[in-house]
Amino acid sequence: MQQARHRSVICGFLVLIALVSVLSRPCPAAEYLAHNADDIAVALRQAAPGDSIVLEDGTWIDQYIQFEGEGTESAPLVLRAKTPGAVVLTGRSHLDISGRWLVVEGLRFENGALEQGQHIVRFSGKRGEASDSRLTNVAIVNYNPQDPRLRYFWVSLHGRNNRVDHSRFEGQNHSGPTVVVWRKPGVRDGHIIEYNYFLNRPPGDGNGFETIRIGTSVDASSDSGTVVQLNLFERTNGEGEIISVKSGDNDIRFNTFRQAAGTVTLRHGNGNRVTGNFFLGDHAKGSGGIRVMGGRHVIANNYLQDLAGHAGGGIVFTCGHADGRPAGNSPVTNVVVAHNTLAHNARAAFKLDSGCGTQGRTERPGNVQLLNNLVVENAGPLFEGEAGENVALAGNLLLGKADPGLLPGGVRVGDTKLTFAPDHLWRPGVDSPVVDAGVATGIVLIDMDGQERDAAPDIGADELSAAAVVTKPLTSRDVGPAWMK
């Protein structure tokens, strides 16, 4: 009797363990098919982390999609096209992303138009700002109003730690940045914008036609921490600031600019880094490089070739306001410009005093280090204009078409012995005088190919190396949605 009772207890215990085991197994992710925005709202009332709301293929007209919810890092809540690229949102369609750990993928917005101040995709909504969320494998094409002066925004990033990647933004002709980071003073954003294809933005009528803007002058004194990397900008000619940085501690790295009229502009904020980018102008009108305001920046390992010289040169320093006015130009100070290659450009390699004497700008760049830069066959001079105090030059090498004039110490003239490589870039050979000829910079660097520099660094953006190439000039095959390749 006692043995039977004992066996019964054991069997009951085993059944309980089995039941707990079954109940503790994660439920399989569910999919909810939606034909319109109302279906999405109904599905969201039932959806759990890991579930997907699948949009039926076809043309969706005048749909306001409010994608709201909470996923987890390992099980995000997903809104996706049934067939990537086959869900076409048009008319007045737009999308809000609101919550945490949300993913939107595979959608195509095309040939629609919005009203003043609206957003095609906004990382904010009824649940507040989005965080840890992602927009991927999406295209927005020709979503333009009849009047190009009408101002609205294609992608508005709010919140923190969001990502926009592998998407295509084509043909915007109206006022408003294509992608804009909206900031709160003192809050670090931490967004990532990568592997996107920005193309064919015609010139706009004045300011406000940026391709990417990070912050505003109001909150520029705080750090955003946004990374813009591995994107292709092709004929993004909306205005002079292709990327307008109006905050601190951002990374603009390993992007490619082709026939793009304008510059990467450090407009406000301090401590930004512009590194490893390729500026390939193909002699297109208005094509430019990098424009600098503010302090504590690092501009290194960039390759600038065949540029018309927007704003007066390849790398342009703008004079600042002495009174520190909020919307003014902060003086350039404590900036390191190292290991850049400027080849066959039409204007000065370095414009030192852009805007000086206009609009109250009187403060010339000071405490600037120009180290190990390589200038090859520029039509313009090495320097144009006059800098302020404490400009240090070391390890720079010049081979120029224009008369360099009286060169300061830290710059020498000589045959660089570069060859035009199969990738259409000017690269040093083993006998080039740039090899091992650089000075120590005090900053840890890899070169434009993503290769490590050795203890005796080369002059210019390219370190002669047998290591694998990690980064390169990007083409349309490297970026944008997989379904558009």
Give the C-alpha separation, 160 to 215, whole Å: 13
Percent of the chain having pLDDT more than 70? 93
Q: How many residues does the chain have?
A: 485
Do 312 and 318 contact (CB within 8 A), yes or no? no
pLDDT in tens, 256-285: 999 999 999 999 999 999 999 999 999 999
- Cα-Cα-Cα-Cα torsion 340, 341, 347, 353, nearest 10 degrees, comes to 10
Amino acid at 460: G
Kindly state the greatest CA–CA separation across the chain. Answer: 110
Structural tokens at position 170: 């084509």
pLDDT in tens, 215-246: 998 888 899 999 999 999 999 999 999 999 99
Which DSSP symbol is given to 438? Answer: P
Instruction: Quote the strand ranges of 91-148, DSSP E.
Output: 94-100, 102-105, 107-110, 119-122, 124-125, 128-129, 134-136, 139-141
Half-sphere exposure of 360 (CA within 13 A, CB side): 9
How many Cβ atoms sit within 10 Å of the Cβ of residue 288?
31
Bridge partners for 51 per DSSP = none
Do 129 and 123 contact (CB within 8 A), yes or no? yes
User: From first to last of its 485 residues, what are the pLDDT tens digits of the chain?
Assistant: 334 334 343 344 333 334 344 344 457 899 999 999 999 999 999 999 999 999 999 999 999 999 999 999 999 999 999 999 999 999 999 999 999 999 999 999 999 999 999 999 999 999 999 999 999 999 999 999 999 999 999 999 999 999 999 999 999 999 999 999 999 988 999 999 999 999 999 999 989 999 999 999 888 889 999 999 999 999 999 999 999 999 999 999 999 999 999 999 999 999 999 999 999 999 999 999 999 999 999 999 999 999 999 999 999 999 989 887 777 788 999 999 999 999 999 999 999 998 888 888 988 999 999 999 999 999 988 999 988 899 999 999 988 666 565 567 788 888 889 999 999 999 999 999 999 999 999 887 899 999 999 999 999 999 999 999 999 999 999 999 999 98
pLDDT in tens, 20-72: 443 444 578 999 999 999 999 999 999 999 999 999 999 999 999 999 999 99
- Cα-Cα-Cα-Cα torsion 256, 260, 261, 264, nearest 10 degrees, comes to -20
Structural tokens at position 360: 């109250």
